[in-house]
Structure 1
Amino acid sequence: MDRKEMLKSTLPPLAKFLPPPSIPPAKRGRASFVPEPWNLYFTSQRKVTVGKNIFNVYEKGAEGPILLMVHGAGFSGLSWALFTNAMTSLLICRCIAVDLRGHGDTITDNDEDLSAEILSTDLADVAQFYLSDSTAPSIVLIGHSLGGAVCVHAASRGLIPGLAGLVVIDVVEGTALESLSMMESLVRGRPSTFPSVENAIEWSFRTGHIKNPESARVSMVGQLKPMMETSDDAKSQPDIRQTINTTETIMEDDSEQADSQVSSAAARPGTRLGWRIDLLKTQPFWQGWFTGLSEMFLSCPVPKLLILAGMDRLDKDLSIGQMQGKFQMVVLPKSGHAVQEDQPVKVAETLASFMLRNKIVSSAGEFPPVFPGC
């Protein structure tokens, strides 16, 4: 694979729009593309209010260290659904998946400012809420792609008290910066709207955006919003998130409520579904997300784990750091960019071994150890 093709593999896929399914997804005999509700994977959904900002988080687990999980650009906290199920079956821990500013169901006073400084401060605010809401547990930051960069920025700025570990999934400074030259064309190559949730889920799976169909069924719901077609252009309907109570609330496992969340994303007659966030508008922040990332990661004084989809992601600084034993690295080569969605059990086993080896957590059961290596 040449360098250009390798860089493309680290970014959202460039793919043709798929037409509406001709037969019901449930009757296809292969993967079903019917969306799944969040409460099949998480036990509660919480609105964490910090000033004028309301951060949407999904939770599972009642005790143990907190795994604070941060998704990539364009994704949402639902990206961690299958991983959370696997992780809580292995370890005694609390899994907290947050929707970043401008993503998912989070509402802030400025959804347009996605600078590394703002996003890492937001993450610290959410972390502080959970630290003050319990008996000062330790926290492990886990981030995928942009989320990995946000975790590194927060850790390097010393914003997370009780930080016990740092896990970064498929983001490396050198490769990320080289990929930016192609990012705009790749983002523009995606369909701008979909006729249904099922069609969006099928596109996601067929193009490799998310290779695991089960994960796509829950994750894609958090990436979309209803769009009203007009004679001029596609304009947003009134934001369904505006119905959220602006006080702190906890929504426990409620199948009707979770089903209603999925239904709210379904297109009504005359509507289509568009992306929750316009990634092209985040272009001014791309350089800031990744510049200096390797040095910041290596300098964080906590146990560190880097999970990659391929060895070709590694840059010079991290290659040297890995040989010097400054962090653990594991490669899961059968994954696409969304590693934790494509291979949630493998990622959970890798992280469980990492945490047990570093005495961060207690085991919730027996599982085969995953040894460091490539």
Structure 2
Amino acid sequence: MSDLQRAFAKAKLSSYPATMPPTIPPFIEADEEEEETGHFDIESAELPHDDDSSSASSASSASSTGTIIPSQNQKLFARPQGSPNKRTMDQIPWTTYFERELFLPSPSADTTITHHVYLTSPIGPSAPLFITHHGAGSSGLSFAALTSELRKRLPNAGILSLDARGHGSTTISPSQETEILDLSLETLSSDLLTVIERTKLQMGWETMPPLILIGHSLGGAVVTDVAKSGKLGNSLLGYAVLDVVEGSAIDALQSMQTYLSTRPAGFPSLESGIEWHIRSRTIRNSMSARTSVPALLKHDSEIRSSRSWTWRTDLAATQPFWEGWFIGLSKKFLEARGGKLLLLAGTDRLDKELTIGQMQGKYALQVFPEAGHFIHEDLPEKTAVVIVDFYKRNDRSALVLPPKVSDMLRAGKKV
């Protein structure tokens, strides 16, 4: 406090009667330094301990106010309690993405396989039906996030996503646990054709809608084999293969057992299984992981350890079929009828045959270097944009054919 201010205060106090107590509180000497310096010591204020940049920014702003001294109990700089931005690992149900699920029994001489599929029906006779086939160890829900993005751009389109045998909710009775499950390419291709035909019958479709086949990894080999067979006839507009080519796939098989040995044998909870897929960057999209991962795991109540959630599909047991899935894939991909689309996570995956075919313009190629192996889960929006554009380029319903010569002559027009 300056001498002039102190003299003014004493003169003011002396004017009050001696019997009247002063109503102006006494000045605190500590205020003298604060008024002279124009700021207060921020270190004396009670601040929560935090190392992030937002806390540093708050402290810097507070130190420049100069005229406000926070009391010890106000905690003006304390952050709200709780962690609203914490990532949740809760499961997202399949009903978020699909209209219904179907169970399609297919009896044979010794067993009955009940194919499980997720379906959203096409609306209108010319609306396309996208049929998806997942990779080894995955399930039909692998395409759930992509389904949502496709429907945003093509609201009338339908999506049929199946669980292959030994995967998801597809079952075989009587159980074949003691035998090696037949997952040969021939069997899986036959299953896909059966699912398509039985879905048509169960839904009462008079004709097959225009079809686009989409397959990821092993599923890419299956849809290519089905396209090459020609058994879908003119209904098939084209097929898309996601992140698999013959050369790199066969090379990768050499390290497959090593990968499986490093993968956790189980998880203590469903949420921890989802978290592992995200943390390991196996799936880089948390929304997709929360939808697809639950179908990959099953709870075994007989396991007394802390890892009672185990893998639904024993990938190591499928080893006898690995090479058969991919041998000859590139040749079939280039020779099958219909539009062709290849989506990769890196150009290094192209083998010689596909490189030559791409230079000759035999198929469309799109590369997403920022994605992992599960392109459709990591980048569902970008994948949908490419697939919708691919469909539109191959859509025959938009074609306007020229009139026949005979019709023009009958109408008296010159040809």
Coarse TM-score class (shorter-chain normalised): 0.7 to 0.9
1:89 alignment partner in structure 2: 152
1:113 alignment partner in structure 2: 182
Task: Please give the residue correspondences for 1:1-150 in structure 2 after superposition, counting only pairs within 5 Å.
Answer: 29-51=85-107, 52-63=112-123, 64-91=127-154, 92-109=156-173, 112-132=181-201, 133-134=204-205, 135-150=207-222
The 8 Å contact of residues 229 and 271 in structure 1, kept in 2 or not, is answered as no
Secondary structure of 1:167's partner?
strand
Question: Does residue 175 in structure 1 map to residue 211 in structure 2?
Answer: no
The 8 Å contact of residues 122 and 128 in structure 2, kept in 1 or not, is answered as no
The 8 Å contact of residues 210 and 342 in structure 1, kept in 2 or not, is answered as yes
What stretches of structure 1 move > 3 A for 4+ residues in a row?
A: 130-133, 228-231
Per-residue deviation, 1:160: 2.5
Secondary structure of 2:322's partner?
helix
Task: Using structure 1 for the length normalisation, give the TM-score.
Answer: 0.77
2:228 alignment partner in structure 1: 156
Per-residue deviation, 1:350: 0.4
The one-letter amino acid of 1:104's match is G
The 8 Å contact of residues 44 and 59 in structure 1, kept in 2 or not, is answered as yes
Question: Does residue 186 in structure 1 map to residue 276 in structure 2?
Answer: no
Per-residue deviation, 1:36: 1.0
The one-letter amino acid of 2:248's match is T
1:334 alignment partner in structure 2: 370
Secondary structure of 1:214's partner?
helix
Distance in 2, Cα, partners of 1:186 & 1:361: 46
The 8 Å contact of residues 225 and 274 in structure 1, kept in 2 or not, is answered as yes
The one-letter amino acid of 1:70's match is H
Residue by residue over 1:107-149, the C-alpha shift from the partner in whole angstroms, topping out at 9 and shown as x without a partner, is: 1355811000000000010111234431221211100001111
Residue by residue over 1:128-174, the C-alpha shift from the partner in whole angstroms, topping out at 9 and shown as x without a partner, is: 12344312212111000011111111121223232111110000000
2:353 pairs with 313, 317, 322, which one? 317
Q: 5+ residue gaps in structure 1?
A: 1-25, 235-269, 363-374
Secondary structure of 2:171's partner?
coil
Question: Does residue 293 in structure 1 map to residue 329 in structure 2?
Answer: yes
Identical aligned pairs, as a percentage?
42
The one-letter amino acid of 1:332's match is F
The one-letter amino acid of 1:47's match is F
Residue by residue over 1:235-286, the C-alpha shift from the partner in whole angstroms, topping out at 9 and shown as x without a partner, is: xxxxxxxxxxxxxxxxxxxxxxxxxxxxxxxxxxx77100010100000000
Secondary structure of 2:330's partner?
helix
Describe the shift of the 1:144–1:361 C-alpha distance in structure 2 as closer, same or farther (beyond 3 A): farther
- Number of aligned residue pairs: 300
Distance in 2, Cα, partners of 1:28 & 1:147: 39
Task: Using structure 2 for the length normalisation, give the TM-score.
Answer: 0.69
The 8 Å contact of residues 48 and 54 in structure 1, kept in 2 or not, is answered as yes
Secondary structure of 1:79's partner?
helix
User: Relative CO higher for 1 or 2, CA cutoff 8 Å, sep ≥ 6?
Assistant: 1
Residue by residue over 1:295-334, the C-alpha shift from the partner in whole angstroms, topping out at 9 and shown as x without a partner, is: 0110001101001111111111000011111110001111
Distance in 2, Cα, partners of 1:296 & 1:30: 47
Describe the shift of the 1:275–1:312 C-alpha distance in structure 2 as closer, same or farther (beyond 3 A): same
Per-residue deviation, 1:291: 0.3
Distance in 2, Cα, partners of 1:68 & 1:195: 34
Secondary structure of 1:211's partner?
coil
Per-residue deviation, 1:360: 5.1
Per-residue deviation, 1:187: 1.2
The 8 Å contact of residues 173 and 294 in structure 1, kept in 2 or not, is answered as yes
Secondary structure of 1:108's partner?
strand
The 8 Å contact of residues 227 and 337 in structure 2, kept in 1 or not, is answered as no
CA RMSD of aligned residues (A): 1.8
Per-residue deviation, 1:53: 1.5
Distance in 2, Cα, partners of 1:203 & 1:271: 13
The 8 Å contact of residues 226 and 271 in structure 1, kept in 2 or not, is answered as no
Question: Does residue 198 in structure 1 map to residue 258 in structure 2?
Answer: no
Per-residue deviation, 1:228: 3.3
Q: 5+ residue gaps in structure 2?
A: 1-81, 399-415
Secondary structure of 2:370's partner?
coil
Residue by residue over 1:197-249, the C-alpha shift from the partner in whole angstroms, topping out at 9 and shown as x without a partner, is: 11000000000111000100010011001123557xx8xxxxxxxxxxxxxxx
Structure index of larger Rg: 2
Distance in 2, Cα, partners of 1:97 & 1:193: 26
Describe the shift of the 1:361–1:86 C-alpha distance in structure 2 as closer, same or farther (beyond 3 A): farther
Describe the shift of the 1:27–1:37 C-alpha distance in structure 2 as closer, same or farther (beyond 3 A): farther
Distance in 2, Cα, partners of 1:30 & 1:41: 24
